[in-house]
């Protein structure tokens, strides 16, 4: 974990400003990401958490300019990476940055790796896209990269196909591909969800080690707060396309403010009571076509909802230095009576 003091002074590596991303559903665009702003500092690990359908993946696809063409679009806002406005770039320009300065790993490595090409071919493809190197150099680099992500016998694995590897090894290969050009920012979307618990821990350790060695920033998308506690410096909690709370990781666990965050924390399963605890947030995230037009989008599931929560949209306000919350309970400088 980077020290907070050193991070505070630095200019952001990534600035997302008032981002609105929408999808065309039957001829109407609906916002899946709604007026979201946040920064990622160099070497910082920022977690994005929230239940399924909260807009975590759409946000990362927006940053990577990988939204499905003709269906999804960035409607407004800015995505500034290392001083460059990504949303204003042509496809050719973004291709030079994607995979080199910013790269991404996904939940299911089998769907991201091409089954008909060897591991070596897929690693070398990234290298050739962004570097001027010979075939022999690329092969050697591919082997070194596989070794750096903890794959034993990389000289053999380099000539194998994805189906010949275990899930954990495939995810290591995906990480090797993602870090091949030493990106400044890695977006990891549920990188360990498809893996069993022991392998999950190994992959998280690997990511952390790479982050430290390469001085890389990471946006870590997860619904697992255990992963957040283990990995992140800062955390963004999303609900129904909006940020509801943003703070450092310690404050998130010891002093959460938004009722949604508290409920998510309450939903962390203990071994013996997994089923009950996970279902402890009543109701579901509204679909894009069913978003409340006004008010707090969490109001109808919120145990602390007041009548005005259904009519007034809360703003993301500072409740403390570096701690923002979008909840009417905190819209005055002091929490209202009875709010802890
Ligand atoms: N291609 C698409 N077309 C229409 N709606 C979409 C599309 N992709 C995502 N959405 C919608 O956008 C919203 C946000 O989805 P998103 O995948 O970002 O959620 P998430 O928080 O990442 O969930 P998960 O943890 O399940 O990946 C959801 O309502 C989802 O149905």
| For the chain, percent of residues with pLDDT exceeding 70 | 89
Specify which residues 103 forms β-bridges with: 186
Tell me the C-alpha distance between 261 and 252, whole Å. Answer: 8
Which of 180, 197, 231 corresponds to the end of one domain?
Answer: 180
CA distances, 7 to each of 41, 144, 232 (Å): 7, 31, 13
Confidence of residue 107 (pLDDT cuts 50, 70, 90): confident
Let me know if residue 314 belongs to a domain.
Answer: yes
Q: What residue owns the CA closest to ligand 1's atom 24?
A: 52
What residues contact residue 170 under an 8 Å CB cut-off, 6+ apart? 109, 110, 113, 162
Tell me the C-alpha distance between 340 and 337, whole Å. Answer: 8
Helices (H), the chain: 4-9, 56-63, 91-97, 109-112, 119-130, 135-148, 154-157, 167-179, 197-214, 225-231, 249-254, 259-266, 274-278
Rg (CA), the chain: 21
Tell me the C-alpha distance between 273 and 199, whole Å. Answer: 23
Q: What is the pLDDT of residue 267?
A: 62
Q: What is the pLDDT of residue 259?
A: 95
| 166 & 189 share domain | no
Q: What is the pLDDT of residue 212?
A: 93
Confidence of residue 231 (pLDDT cuts 50, 70, 90): very high
- Mean confidence (pLDDT) of the chain: 89
Nearest Cα neighbor of 54 from 291, 250, 257, 267 is 291
Q: Can you tell me the mean pLDDT for 235-242? A: 97
Let me know if residue 338 belongs to a domain.
Answer: no
Whether the per-residue pLDDT at 269 is higher than 50: the answer is: yes
Task: Report residue 167 as tokens.
Answer: 């899930």
Residue 285 alpha carbon to ligand 1 centre in Å: 11
Whether the per-residue pLDDT at 291 is higher than 70: the answer is: yes
Please report the atom of ligand 1 found closest to the CA of residue 287. 29
Nearest Cα neighbor of 17 from 81, 72, 68 is 81
Please report the atom of ligand 1 found closest to the CA of residue 25. 4
Whether the per-residue pLDDT at 88 is higher than 90: the answer is: no
Stronger pLDDT, 139 or 1, i.e. the higher one: 139
Residue 190 alpha carbon to ligand 1 centre in Å: 14
Residue 38 alpha carbon to ligand 1 centre in Å: 19
CA distances, 109 to each of 61, 166, 200 (Å): 17, 10, 13
Mutate to test the pocket of ligand 1, among 58, 264, 290 (most ligand atoms within 8 A of CB): 58
| 133 & 158 share domain | yes
For the stretch 26-56, pLDDT in tens is 999 999 999 999 999 999 999 999 999 999 9
| For the chain, percent of residues with pLDDT exceeding 90 | 70
Q: What residue owns the CA closest to ligand 1's atom 26?
A: 52
Q: What is the pLDDT of residue 268?
A: 56
Specify which residues 106 forms β-bridges with: none
Nearest Cα neighbor of 279 from 296, 264, 259, 297 is 264
| 279 & 143 share domain | no
Domain carrying residue 71? 4-101+181-330
Let me know if residue 335 belongs to a domain.
Answer: no
Mutate to test the pocket of ligand 1, among 19, 29, 30, 32 (most ligand atoms within 8 A of CB): 32
Let me know if residue 186 belongs to a domain.
Answer: yes
CA distances, 182 to each of 77, 120, 185 (Å): 28, 17, 9
Given a contact cutoff of 8 angstroms between Cβ atoms, the answer to whether 165 and 176 are in contact is: no
Residue 53 alpha carbon to ligand 1 centre in Å: 5
Q: What residue owns the CA closest to ligand 1's atom 19?
A: 53
Nearest Cα neighbor of 146 from 132, 157, 159, 135 is 157
| 218 & 133 share domain | no
Q: Can you tell me the mean pLDDT for 208-213? A: 92
Q: What is the pLDDT of residue 237?
A: 97
Q: What residue owns the CA closest to ligand 1's atom 9?
A: 58
Helices (H), 15-66: 56-63
Given a contact cutoff of 8 angstroms between Cβ atoms, the answer to whether 72 and 83 are in contact is: no
Residues with CB under 6 A from ligand 1: 23, 25, 32, 50, 52-58, 68, 71-72, 223, 287-288
| 137 & 271 share domain | no
Give the phi and the psi of residue 237 in degrees, each rounded to 5.
-100, 125
Residue 296 alpha carbon to ligand 1 centre in Å: 19
CATH number of the structural domain spanning residue 188: 3.40.50.300
Whether the per-residue pLDDT at 336 is higher than 60: the answer is: no
Tell me the C-alpha distance between 166 and 312, whole Å. Answer: 50
Residue 122 alpha carbon to ligand 1 centre in Å: 28
Which of 65-74, 88-97, 299-308 bottoms out in mean pLDDT, i.e. has the lowest? 88-97
Task: Report residue 18 as tokens.
Answer: 């008032």
pTM of the model: 0.89
Confidence of residue 120 (pLDDT cuts 50, 70, 90): very high
What residues contact residue 322 under an 8 Å CB cut-off, 6+ apart? 247, 248, 251
**How many structural domains is the chain composed of?**
2
DSSP, res 9: H
Please report the atom of ligand 1 found closest to the CA of residue 241. 14
| 175 & 276 share domain | no
Q: What residue owns the CA closest to ligand 1's atom 31?
A: 53
Let me know if residue 318 belongs to a domain.
Answer: yes
Tell me the C-alpha distance between 77 and 247, whole Å. Answer: 22
| 272 & 317 share domain | yes
């Amino acid at each position: 974990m980077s020290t907070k003091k050193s991070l505070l002074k630095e200019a952001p590596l990534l600035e997302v400003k008032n981002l609105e991303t929408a999808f065309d559903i039957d001829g109407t665009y609906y916002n899946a990401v709604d007026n979201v702003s946040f920064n990622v500092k160099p070497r910082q690990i920022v977690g994005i958490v929230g239940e399924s359908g909260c807009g975590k993946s759409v946000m990362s696809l927006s940053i990577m300019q990988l939204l499905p063409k003709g269906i999804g679009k960035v409607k407004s806002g800015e995505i500034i990476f290392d001083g460059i406005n990504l949303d204003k770039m042509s496809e050719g320009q973004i291709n030079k940055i994607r995979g080199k300065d910013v790269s991404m790993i996904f939940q299911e490595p089998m769907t991201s790796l091409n089954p008909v090409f060897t591991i070596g071919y897929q690693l070398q493809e990234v290298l050739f896209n962004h570097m001027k190197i010979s075939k022999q150099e690329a092969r050697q680099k591919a082997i070194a990269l596989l070794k750096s992500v903890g794959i034993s016998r990389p000289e053999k694995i380099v000539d194998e196909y994805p189906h010949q590897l275990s899930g954990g090894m495939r995810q290591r290969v995906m990480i090797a591909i993602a870090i091949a050009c030493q990106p400044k920012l890695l977006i990891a979307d549920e990188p360990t969800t498809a893996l069993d618990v022991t392998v999950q821990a190994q992959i998280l350790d690997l990511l952390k080690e790479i982050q430290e060695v390469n001085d890389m920033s990471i946006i870590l998308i997860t619904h697992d707060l255990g992963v957040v506690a283990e990995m992140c410096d800062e955390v963004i909690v999303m609900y129904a396309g909006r940020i509801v709370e943003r703070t450092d990781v310690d404050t998130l666990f010891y002093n959460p403010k938004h009722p949604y965050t508290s409920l998510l924390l309450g939903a962390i399963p203990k071994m013996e009571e997994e089923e009950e605890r996970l279902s402890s947030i009543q109701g579901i995230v509204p679909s894009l076509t069913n978003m409340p037009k006004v008010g707090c989008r969490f109001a109808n599931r919120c145990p602390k909802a007041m009548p005005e929560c259904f009519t007034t949209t809360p703003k993301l306000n500072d409740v403390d230095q570096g701690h923002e919350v979008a909840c009417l309970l905190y819209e005055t400088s002091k929490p209202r009576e009875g709010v802890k």
